[in-house]
Chain A
Amino acid sequence: MSQLSQKHLLGIKDINRKDIELIFETANNFKEVINRPIKKVPSLRDITIANIFFENSTRTKLSFELAEKRLSADVVNFSSSNSSVKKGETLLDTVNNILAMKVDMVVMRHSSPGAAHFLAKNIKANIVNAGDGTHEHPTQALLDTFSIFQKFGSLEGLKVAIIGDILHSRVALSNIFALQKLGAEVMVCGPNTLLPKFISSLGVKVELDVKKALEWCDVANVLRIQLERQHIKYFPSLREYSLYYGINKKLLDSLNKEITIMHPGPINRGVELNSDVADSDHSLILEQVENGVAIRMAVLYLLAENS
């Protein structure tokens, strides 16, 4: 198998284990490329990619843009804050207008779950979902699992706990799918109010006590509290959340084993993660950022071949 089974990357749910392994293999080669003196390859020189961001993003947008430029693609950027969306244009019209300018691929972030699927049904270009509301964020899950894969060599039988605001997290859902497809065991942990009601139907363990979760797992992927999506109060205060669910060195030292700590960023230091953990040797956080560019290069490269 040297080709993805899909024309788009809409979610991890739609791709299979072989696809993920092919993306990892290709990303591994791109990781070597981005550590060369000249970090650029000419593969996508005849391709134009539109980055359409209807929601704020720093890391993902930068990472996609770097990945595209290192593949020599032409890049156009669009963010909704200074566009005609404000004047009442629909999503489909906006994107069709961009495509009329001969764009081959679209990388899109949108606040509505399913926005990428909607686009994929209605337009011809390859779509890469860069996050759709609280639904999926496939490239983040790929780079998270790739980082674990690079550290441990395999995910088979590995225990991974996802800790924090699971309810509002697209990273959590994509990670659960990716980890399970690669054979890892998954646990979600957070206050009851921040866990989706039927999450255990996905075949994950559910734990309310963060210490027990840490004792169980090999890798802890800590998520941010997404205050911007919380329209009602889910817990009394950030201070209280931090007291019960914040991870600090003292807590990790009280366990009698080493745990790898991950975080998709941006970190709220002192809330879900303390600086003494985020900057420690057990943290894979900056490794995740580097792998993000390699993974996105691999995804774009493999999808371009499938168009």
Chain B
Amino acid sequence: MQKKLILDSNLLNITVNRLCQQLIENHEDFQQTAILGMQPRGIHLAGMIHNKLEEDTGKKIDLGYLDTTFFRDDFRRRGTPMVANATKMPFIIEDRKVILIDDVLYTGRSVRAALDAMIAFGRPSKVELLVLVNRKYTRHLPIEPDYVGIDVNTIDTQKVLVELEISGGSKNKIWLINKDNK
């Protein structure tokens, strides 16, 4: 198994800072905006960005978690069953802007499910997508991110591994892994 480091701790900090600055440019004080991390892995990145934004703007910003398991289109079609996670949405999204956050954008199917899951809570005025790693040329659906940490060219046999301290990793590191041919 070959591993290639695509973002180390230092670069990740710079990237997250840049993403936060881009968000501030478009959302100013975030009073009409809510941040939604996608379960299970997007919530840690959402937490990091949320903390940084609150620090930078000095304002309280709404943060929620969205689980998409029950809205997926591959139920009964995938080999390994998925376990549902908690959804936490302690605010109203009707007529507000929502920033969906996930760690890796691959086929786009999770994001489609997330859009469906989100609509059950109301009709946002605008939805944006932020991802840390955008895997290019792998989309199954016409979905593209508004904010990208890093673009990578990958093939199907490769995997992106995101290790974050906040989610129990030893260091902030993002790897590109070539899966073994079995």
Contact = CB atoms under 8 A, between A and B. Distances in A.
B86 A37 contact: no
Contacts, number: 51
**Interface residues on chain B, size class:** 20 to 34
B70 A43 contact: yes
A29 B120 contact: no
A213 B180 CA distance: 61
Determine the main DSSP class of A at the interface with B.
Answer: loop
Interface residues of A, number: 23
A304 B70 contact: no
Interface string B133-149: 00000000000000000
Interface of A: 2-3, 22, 25-26, 28-29, 32-33, 36-38, 40-44, 46, 71, 301, 304-305, 307
Interface string B63-96: 0000101110001100011111111000000000
Contacts of A37: 120-122
Nearest to A46: B76
Contacts of B117: 41
A2 B120 contact: no
Nearest to A304: B76
Contacts of A3: 81
A237 B1 CA distance: 76
A42 B70 contact: yes
Contacts of B67: 29
Contacts of A32: 86-87
Nearest to A28: B86
A29 B71 contact: no
B121 A29 contact: no
Contacts of A29: 67, 69-70, 84-87
B80 A305 contact: no
A71 B75 CA distance: 12
Contact of A40 (B80, B120, B121): B120
B116 interface: yes
Most chain A CB within 10 A, of B85, B120, B121, is at B120
Contact of B76 (A2, A41, A71, A305): A305
